[in-house]
Every structure is written in C-alpha cells, then in structure tokens.
C-alpha cells in the first residue's frame, strides 16, 4: 500500500473550489460559486432558489444531466398542464352528454312502446309510462351534469395553474441542492454529467413537448386524434403469429416424440418409486422418519413441530394426498437440484456462459406460472409428469443463482492460498469452494423446494394429484372452510421441508 505524506496534501482552498465549480457548471459560474459555498457550510439541505429551474422546469434538469429529476418534475408538470388544458379547451361534459344521448335512445324506444300500448290497450301501459318518466328524469339529470361540468372549466384551469406554480417552486428549491450533489459525484468521478449541454437541452425540450402535448390533447380532446385512443394494430397479425407458433409446436412435438416420451416415462417412473416409499410404506414408519430427520437437522423443537404438523395431516384425512404432493415436489426438487448445482458451478467458473444463462433464468422466474402449462401440456400432455416439468421450470432458477453467488463470494485469498500449497482444481472445488459456499447453496436449495411447493395448486390444473386438487375444488365450489384446511395442509408440508432443509441455521 502506498503511504502519502500528510504534508504533501493540498488543502481545499477557496480559489481551487471556485475553479472546480466553474469547470463543472460551465454557465453562470459566479452564481453557483456563491450558492455552493453557502450550501457547503453545513451538511444536509439548505434552502436556495434557482430562477432558471423555476422558469424551465424539467428542461433545466435535463440540460444539467439530472435525468431522474427530469422525469419526476416532468410528471407533475404534465399533470398541471393537463388540468389547465382541460380547463381552457377541454370537453368536460362529454361523458355526461354521451350518457344523455344513450338515455335519449332508450327513451325513444320506450315512447314507441307507450304509443303501441295505448293503441292496443295493453295492461302494461302504466308501467311503460312510469319507465318513460324515469328515463326523462335521468336524461334531464345527465344534461344538467354536462352543463355543470362545462361550467367548471375555470376551476380546472385555476387548479392546474396552482399546481404548476407549486411544482416550479419545488423545482427551484431543489435545483441547487441536486446540482451540488452532482458536483460532489463529479469530483470523484469525472465521468458524471456536468456542464450545460445543448444536446441535453434539446433532448429534454423535445421530450417535454411530446409528453405534455400528447397528454393534454388526449385528456382535453379525446376524440381529436384517433391514434391516441387505440394502438395501431391489426387483429390478423396476432392470429397469423399464433398459427405460426402452433405449427412450430406441432412440428417440435412430432419430431421429438421419442424424446418427450422418454422424459415422460422417466419422470413417471421416478414419481412411482417416490410414491411407493411415501404412500405404500406404513404411515407410522414415514412419520417416524420425518420426525427423526427434523430432530437430526434442527433439534427437538423442529421434531416436535414436525410431529404436530404430521398429526394435522393425518387426523384431517390429508395424509395420502400430502404424501402424493411431497412425492411430486420431491421429484421436481431432486431433478432441479441435481441439474442446477452443476450448472451453477459451471456458470460461476465461466462468466460468459452465465451471461447467456442469466436472461434464461430471468425469463423462467418472470413468466407467470400459468403460462408454463401451455408448452408443457403441448409437449408432454397432462398428468403428474407435466406437473413435475412445470414445477421444475418455476423452481430451478434459485438453486442455480445461489450456487453461482456462493462460489463468487469465496474469498480470493483463500483460493490463492490453496493453490499455493498445490491444490488441484478438483481439490479446490470439493475442499475449498463448495464448503465455503455451502450456506448460500443450501439457501438456494431451500428456495427451490419452497417455490416448487408453491406450484402445487397450479399443477393440479393439468391433472397433478395431491393437496392442490382440494384447493382447486374449494375454489370451484366456493367451499371456503375446506379450502382453508387444504391450504394449511400445504403450508405445513412447506414448513416441514423448510425446517428440515434449513437445519439449525
């Protein structure tokens, strides 16, 4: 480490500070030198007013490169101009007049029915007359509401003007404070925005005109430009693209029939074996194993909680469905963890690969869970194997991400020391990296298990059995009590697995 002689450090002189401020602000250096000296006398915010920011509003912030503040001020500026535009030339009574026109059409029909009833002497004549009178009253009320709304334009304009004044005052009061903070960042990083840029000024002015102009036009005169009402599109584009995707699905399904059949067979076999262990084994043995796992992993408190949760499942007749759910979850989590940890290790050692894998993981976690069911059912069909695949897609990203994170957080000094003592890559992975990253990887495994359990109800939509089926039936028949009991059963399954996997952490 290089040591610096304190005597060689130049103190912050007033002249040097003024020179830096002048270089940073580019325009009006004398004003900002005085303002910055005033603001630096005490930490925190000090009240000042910037006339240019009050006059230009968001454009000032954009020209200074303060784009986050530009967006905030522009938002409130736009709202103020919308109110002013609606007050000046807005059609405020439009909705009331449209409602009056609709009532008039219904009233005309009702009057024709009254005339026909009078001619025929129908017994419903009195009812029709009362309905017509009610419609006449509603029409008069709508017309009065339209006139009242039209007369309220001055209030909209006054409110918008007051809001604009408040926004510009706030912009003026915050401008110097935000610019001084930008100056502090610029002193440590000369790549930060500085000066008064004409390009930024032009861009900020153009964005402000577009946003304010279109917003005012849309709210004040909705019928003026039809393009602002609906996005320009064509329904046939969606239909053609959907047909094209359907052809791709059909071709993939036909071409990969052997692969998809093998995947289905493998998952069904794994599920059958796990269900044979959990469902076919006498329930006291299964319960005892879970309680022992809880005791070995988390101690007596976890064992007692596990026993109580299993008792809840058994007493309320959820035992078999709970074991089926855990079997489906176990198969999905086992495959996710078996594939996810090696993939995470590979990505941690090859950042370029992780740069490609990361968007895929983002897609898997961002896509709504119900959307997973569409390609899964298209390629695999319905049933438990499809539920396992959908659960894997939803639950596998955390274990991959946490594995990468855990290995990246291993101290470089520890790895260098191990390599200095002749550690091979295999030894380095198994004896250094994985033990140090164990807690993070276990957290990823825990998240994968819990996210997999969250797919229980969704998977029941495609024929996966278990507790999700009870929740789905409760939703269909509005059986709130049964749904709550089944939901608690799912919760207890999640908590049992969470406590066993988390251990004493």
pLDDT, mean of each 10-residue run, the chain (505 residues): 43 76 88 88 85 93 93 94 87 80 84 80 76 84 80 86 95 93 88 88 94 89 75 82 86 84 84 82 90 88 91 90 85 87 92 91 82 80 82 88 92 87 86 90 87 78 79 81 87 82 66
Q: What is the pTM of this model?
A: 0.67
Instruction: Please indicate, yes or no, whether residues 298 and 388 belong to a single structural domain of this protein.
Output: yes
Radius of gyration of the chain (CA): 35
Q: Which of 142, 147, 148, 149 is nearest to 107 (CA)?
A: 142
**Do 39 and 126 sit in the same domain of this protein?**
no
Number of domains in the chain: 3
Cβ of 180: how many Cβ atoms within 10 Å? 20
Q: How far is the C-alpha of 333 from the C-alpha of 341, rounded, in Å?
A: 12
Are residue 32 and residue 18 in the same domain, yes or no?
Answer: yes
- Cα–Cα distance for residue pair 62/172, rounded to 1 Å: 14
Within-domain flag for 2: no
Q: Both tokens of residue 274?
A: 């796990």
Q: Is residue 484 domain-resident? A: yes
Q: Which two tokens stand for residue 380?
A: 């695999």
Assess whether 219 and 101 both reside in one domain.
Answer: no
| Same domain, residue pair 178 and 199 | yes
Closest to 401 in 3D by CA, of 453, 428, 440: 440
Burial class (CB in 10 A: 0-12, 13-18, 19+), 4: exposed
Which CATH number do you get for residue 302?
1.10.3720.10
| 77 within 8 A of 212, measured Cβ to Cβ | yes
Same domain, residue pair 62 and 101: no
Comparing CA positions, the residue from 372, 446, 436, 384 lying closest to residue 406 is 436
Buried b (16+ CB within 10 A) or exposed e, 387-426: bbbbbbbbbbbbbbbbbbbbbeebeeeeeeebeeeeeeee
Task: Report how far residue 34's alpha carbon sits from residue 21's, in angstroms, rounded to the nearest whole number.
Answer: 10
Q: How far apart are CA 15 and CA 299, in angstroms?
A: 68
CB 394 within 8 A of CB 455: yes
Q: What is the pLDDT of residue 1?
A: 40
Give the integer Cα–Cα distance in Å for 424 and 421: 9
The residue out of 151, 183, 199 marking a domain boundary is 151
* 24: its two tokens: 């940073």
Q: Which domain holds residue 117?
A: 94-151
Q: What is the pLDDT of residue 3?
A: 46
Round to whole Å and give the CA distance between 212 and 201: 16
In a domain, 249, yes or no: no
Q: How many residues does the chain have?
A: 505
Q: What is the pLDDT of residue 5?
A: 46
In a domain, 238, yes or no: no
Q: Identify whether 330 is part of a domain.
A: yes
Q: Diameter of the chain by CA atoms?
A: 113
Of the candidates 210, 212, 205, 207, the one whose C-alpha atom is nearest the C-alpha of residue 63 is 205
Judge if 201 and 308 occupy the same domain.
Answer: no
Q: Which of 59, 35, 32 is nearest to 47 (CA)?
A: 35
Instruction: Give the tokens for residue 154.
Output: 């001055």
Exposure of 234 in the CB half-sphere (CA atoms within 13 A):
4
CB 73 within 8 A of CB 130: no
Query: Crossing angle, helix 384-395 and helix 369-379, to 10 degrees?
Result: 140
Residues 212 and 286 in one domain: no
**Tokens found for residue 83:** 């109110």
The backbone region for 45, taken as left when phi is positive above 0, alpha when psi lies in -120 to 50, beta otherwise, is beta
Beta-carbon contacts of residue 178 (< 8 Å; ≥ 6 apart): 61, 66, 69
Last residue of a domain, one of 124, 151, 178: 151
- Which pLDDT score is estimated for 9? 38
Q: How many CB atoms lie within 10 A of CB 64?
A: 27
Examine the domain organization and report whether 61 and 119 are in the same domain: no
Q: Is the CB of residue 323 less than 8 Å from the CB of residue 286?
A: yes
**Helix spans in 121-152 (H):** 125-151
Q: Classify residue 8 by its DSSP letter.
A: G
Question: What per-residue confidence (pLDDT) applies to 18?
Answer: 86
| Residue of 176, 237, 189, 182 whose CA lies nearest to 37 | 176
> Of 192, 210, 228, which one is at a domain's C-terminal end?
228
In the DSSP assignment, the letter for residue 277 is I
Number of Cβ atoms within 10 Å of the Cβ of 354: 19
Q: What does the DSSP 8-state code read for residue 453?
A: H
**454 in a domain, yes or no?**
yes
Residue 4, in any domain of the structure: no
Cα–Cα distance between 199 and 87 in angstroms, integer? 34
Q: Is residue 268 domain-resident?
A: yes
Tell me the C-alpha distance between 259 and 274, whole Å: 23
Say yes or no: 267 and 349 in one domain. yes
Q: What pLDDT score was predicted for residue 379?
A: 82
364, 465: one domain: yes
- Alpha-helix runs per DSSP H in 317-350: 319-349
Is residue 72 domain-shared with residue 187, that is, in the same domain?
A: yes
Q: Which residues contact 307 (CB under 8 A, 6 or more apart)?
A: 287, 291, 294
């Amino acid at each position: 480490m290089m040591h610096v002689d304190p005597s060689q450090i130049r103190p912050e002189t007033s002249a040097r500070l003024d020179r830096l401020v002048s270089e940073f602000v580019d325009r009006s250096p004398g004003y900002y030198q005085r303002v910055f000296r005033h603001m630096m006398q005490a930490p925190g915010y000090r009240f000042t007013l910037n006339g240019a920011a009050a006059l230009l509003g968001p454009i000032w912030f954009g020209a200074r490169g303060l784009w986050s503040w530009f967006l905030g001020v522009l938002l409130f500026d736009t709202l103020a101009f919308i109110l002013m535009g609606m007050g000046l030339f807005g059609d405020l009574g439009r909705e009331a007049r449209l409602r009056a026109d609709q009532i008039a059409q219904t009233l005309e029909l009702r009057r024709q029915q009254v005339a026909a009833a009078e001619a025929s002497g129908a017994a419903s004549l009195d009812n029709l007359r009362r309905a017509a009178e009610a419609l006449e009253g509603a029409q008069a009320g709508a017309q009065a509401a339209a006139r009242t709304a039209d007369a309220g334009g001055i209030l909209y304009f006054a409110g918008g003007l007051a809001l604009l004044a408040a926004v510009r005052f706030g912009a003026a009061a915050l401008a110097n404070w935000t610019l001084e903070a930008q100056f502090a960042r610029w002193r440590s990083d000369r790549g930060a925005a500085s000066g008064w840029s004409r390009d930024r000024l032009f861009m900020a002015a153009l964005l402000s005109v577009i946003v304010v102009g279109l917003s005012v036009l849309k709210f004040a005169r909705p019928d003026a430009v039809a393009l602002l009402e609906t996005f320009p599109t064509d329904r046939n584009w969606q239909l053609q693209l959907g047909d094209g995707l359907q052809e791709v699905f059909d071709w993939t399904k036909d071409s990969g029939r052997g692969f998809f059949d093998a995947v289905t067979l493998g998952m069904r076999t794994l599920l059958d074996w796990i269900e044979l262990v959990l469902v076919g084994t006498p329930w006291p043995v299964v319960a005892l194993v879970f309680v022992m796992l809880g005791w070995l992993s988390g101690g007596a408190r976890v064992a007692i909680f596990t026993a109580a949760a299993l008792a809840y499942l058994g007493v309320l007749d959820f035992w078999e469905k709970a074991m089926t759910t855990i079997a489906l979850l176990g198969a999905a989590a086992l495959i996710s963890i078996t594939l996810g940890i090696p993939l995470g290790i590979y990505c941690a050692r090859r950042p370029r690969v992780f740069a490609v894998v990361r968007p895929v993981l983002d897609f898997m976690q961002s896509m709504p869970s119900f959307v997973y069911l569409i390609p899964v059912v298209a390629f695999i069909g319905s049933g438990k194997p499809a539920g396992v695949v959908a659960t894997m897609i939803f639950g596998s990203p955390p274990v991959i991400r946490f594995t990468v994170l855990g290995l990246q957080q291993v101290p470089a000094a520890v790895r260098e020391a191990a390599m200095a003592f002749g550690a091979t890559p295999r030894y380095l992975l198994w004896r250094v990296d994985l033990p140090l990253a164990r807690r993070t990887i276990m957290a990823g495994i825990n998240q994968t298990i819990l996210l997999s359990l969250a797919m229980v109800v969704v998977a029941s939509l495609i024929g996966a059995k278990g507790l999700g089926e009870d929740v789905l039936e409760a939703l269909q028949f509005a059986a709130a009590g049964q749904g709550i009991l089944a939901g608690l059963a799912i919760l207890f399954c999640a908590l049992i697995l969470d406590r066993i996997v988390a251990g004493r952490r």
